[in-house]
Amino acid sequence: MSTILQVTIRGRVQGVGYRAWIEHQAIACKLEGWVRNRRDGSVEALFSGPPQLVATMVTLCRHGPPSAHVDAVKDEPGDPEALNLRRAGERFSVLPTV
Q: Please say if 37 is a catalytic residue.
A: yes
Instruction: Convert 64-88 to b/e letters by CB count within 10 Å (16 or more is b).
Output: bbeebebeebebeebeeeebeebee
Active-site option among 37, 84, 86, 91: 37
Distance between CA atoms of residues 34 and 14, nearest Å: 16
Active-site option among 10, 12, 19, 39: 19
31, HSE (Cβ side, Cα atoms, 13 Å): 30
Positive or negative, the CA dihedral 40, 98, 31, 3 is positive
**Cβ atoms of residues 58 and 75 within 8 Å:** yes
Q: Please say if 84 is a catalytic residue.
A: no
Q: Which residues are catalytic?
A: 19, 37
